[in-house]
Structure 1
Amino acid sequence: MKLDETGITNLGPVPEGLTFLEATKALTLKHRINPDHHSKRLTVCETQREIWRIADGLPEPVRSDLKALAAAGYHYGKCMDLRMKQLKAMLADG
């Protein structure tokens, strides 16, 4: 049996013919990054916010590319956190 982490740690493979960045920019993100929020904690989400804040000072197109990647990383992190909590609850119930 081959284990697949799609839906747990990732959304699946990059579609053929697209670069990683192109596939990332094509996503519709449910979880939106708020760079003005400062949790002051060493977390994945705060790391993505800091990348976004640093990118603000960079020229285009680097700024937009880094912001797209930070936003996607933030979204992936939130999705993975939610899924891991669901799995943990399933284990606790079993």
Structure 2
Amino acid sequence: MTVSDQIAPAVVTLDALTPRRAPDGVVPPAAPRTAPAARVREGVARMRRALADGSLHHHPPREVPAGHRSHAIDVVRAWAAGAGPVAQRRLCGVCSPRSSALH
């Protein structure tokens, strides 16, 4: 069996494989101060503290009635934006059921 010119591998120049450098004087963006995993751990720790001290409104799954949703993401977003427990309860699907087919 022979390899014809039609199926021979393409020739790639070294320039195509070498990463391009930024021109002199161009400063690359600064790296994040904390790694993504560390930021997630910090966020989880903040949420656990807020659940423990009652500043984050929450219902355990067993308290969510069948056919309802807690809308927890809306509550957490409100908490993250600085809303207090009263404002969070207004967004809660258990405390303030919404009048839609998908509670």
Compute the TM-score of the two structures, normalised by the length of structure 1: 0.25
Structure showing greater Rg: 2
**Higher relative contact order (CA closer than 8 Å, sequence separation 6+):** 1
Structure number with higher helix proportion: 1
